[in-house]
Amino acid sequence: MAETGTDIHKAQQLLRQGKLVAIPTETVYGLAADATNVTAVSRIYEAKNRPSFDPLIVHLHDVSQVEDYCRDVPEIFHRLYQKFSPGPVTYILKKTERIPDLVTSGHNTVGIRFPQHPLTRDLLKESQLPLAAPSANPFGYISPTSAAHVEEQLGRKVHYILDGGFSKIGIESTIIDLSNETPRVLRLGGLELEELESVTGKIEVNTSSSNPKAPGMLSAHYAPSKPVLLGDVQKLIEENRQKKLAVLSFHKKYDHPAVRCQLWLSTRAQMREAAANLFQSLRELDKLDVDLIIAEPLPEVGLGRAINDRLRRASHR
Ligand code: TXA
Ligand code: MG
């Protein structure tokens, strides 16, 4: 068991000693270490069982720290920062040598995020530490949206869990690559594409797993241990009627004897609520005595895009 609490001084002390601390953010919980301490950073990869080719995001308190860790910062960054940070967006920028290669898996760019959760903002402000933090789950599994989720899976590998309650957004940050002439989205996430485009104009989205710029966007990811099928729910139920089924839908109710349990992402059909419930629901269904989880895709707009992206990866075999 890891100690859990809200003591940012304790968290800061442990981070300065090179220890791992789980931190709450509005998207998902992160597994944090001092980004400038290579030994500490190597503990993140070890604890998550994460391949070293998959780079980490660095969390900062505010824009005044950016020049320390990034160079050739383009003007578009400042416009996006003004509008969306702190918040659920990560900027890929060219890095300075103060960011160790281990953090970026040898890339000359680094992902920078300014999280919004007040507890983590206090920690970042007090400590002024750059915190390298991936989502606090074993590699490939569902991301955690509460302190209990972190405890369940990484309790023995982390020194302290800063408990900030449930993550309000519940889906990881949107990643935008600003290290080239033309901005590109590498991961759909908590900041809606439409919002982003209100500043950038029409933007290219490349979230494919073969994209060498986002090595972590593997086809199979965010996955429960039970198989997930994504598609027309009624049809999938019929095709698998011999099995014990669980259904995860947006708001519709599906009745069938083979369905042992159904969860709704939002009975009011709200995207925000659906995103906030997504990972918690997948976790719950994964614990049931069923053979298969059948999931319904959401409308492909706003946060629905990011939710569908996670469901597709969760269902990839
Ligand atoms: O919302 C979030 O972004 C959460 C919270 C904790 O901040 N963090 C998170 O980290 O989701 P992680 O490590 O689970 O996902 C980060 C993704 C990975 O797919 C990684 O490959 C990509 O960001 N990434 C990190 N640095 C990159 C870089 N320099 N270039 C391209 N992709 C990068
Ligand atoms: Mg992750």
Ligand minimally distant from the alpha carbon of residue 170: 1
**Atom 32 of ligand 1, residue of closest alpha carbon:** 214
pLDDT value of residue 211: 60
**Ligand 1 atom, smallest distance to 111 CA:** 26
Cα–ligand 1 centroid distance for 129 (angstroms): 18
**Atom 3 of ligand 1, residue of closest alpha carbon:** 173
**Atom 31 of ligand 1, residue of closest alpha carbon:** 214
Strand 292-295 and strand 228-230: the pairing is parallel
pLDDT value of residue 253: 96
Centroid of chain to Cα 60: 16
**Atom 12 of ligand 1, residue of closest alpha carbon:** 134
pLDDT value of residue 24: 98
C-alpha to C-alpha distance for 53 and 36, rounded to whole angstroms: 18
Cα–ligand 2 centroid distance for 257 (angstroms): 35
Cα–ligand 1 centroid distance for 214 (angstroms): 8
**Quick one: pLDDT band at residue 208, thresholds 50, 70, 90?**
confident
**Ligand 1 atom, smallest distance to 30 CA:** 6
pLDDT value of residue 222: 75
CB 135 within 8 A of CB 29: yes
Q: Residues near ligand 1 with C-beta < 6 Å? A: 25, 27-28, 30, 54-57, 90, 92, 104, 107, 109-111, 113, 115, 133-135, 172-173, 175, 186, 213-217
Ligand minimally distant from the alpha carbon of residue 138: 2
C-alpha to C-alpha distance for 150 and 83, rounded to whole angstroms: 31
Residues with CB under 5 A from ligand 2 (ion): 135
Torsion of CA 177, 183, 187, 192, to 10 degrees: 130
pLDDT value of residue 126: 98
Cα–ligand 1 centroid distance for 95 (angstroms): 15
Per-residue burial over 136-154, b if 16 or more Cβ lie within 10 Å, else e, is bbebebbbbbbbebbbebb
The count of other CB atoms within 10 Å of the CB of residue 202 is 5
Cα–ligand 2 centroid distance for 90 (angstroms): 13
Residue range 45-59: mean pLDDT, rounded: 95
**Ligand 1 atom, smallest distance to 23 CA:** 6
pLDDT value of residue 249: 98
The count of other CB atoms within 10 Å of the CB of residue 167 is 26
Q: Looking at the predicted structure, is the pLDDT value of residue 144 above 80?
A: yes
Summary mean pLDDT of the chain:
95
| Residue 187 DSSP SS3 | strand
Our mutation pick for probing the ligand 1 site, out of 167, 172, 177, counting the most ligand atoms within 8 A of Cβ, is 172
**Quick one: pLDDT band at residue 86, thresholds 50, 70, 90?**
very high
Q: Looking at the predicted structure, is the pLDDT value of residue 299 above 60?
A: yes
Ligand minimally distant from the alpha carbon of residue 215: 1
C-alpha to C-alpha distance for 225 and 17, rounded to whole angstroms: 35
Centroid of chain to Cα 315: 17
- pLDDT digit string, tens, across residues 210-223: 565 565 566 777 78
Q: Looking at the predicted structure, is the pLDDT value of residue 284 above 90?
A: yes
CB 143 within 8 A of CB 222: yes
**Ligand 1 atom, smallest distance to 113 CA:** 7
**Pick from 260, 258, 268: which is nearest to 288 by CA?**
260
Ligand minimally distant from the alpha carbon of residue 207: 1
pLDDT value of residue 212: 56
Give me the helices (H) in the chain, please: 8-16, 38-48, 66-69, 75-84, 101-104, 118-127, 147-154, 193-200, 233-239, 271-286, 303-315
Residue range 55-67: mean pLDDT, rounded: 98
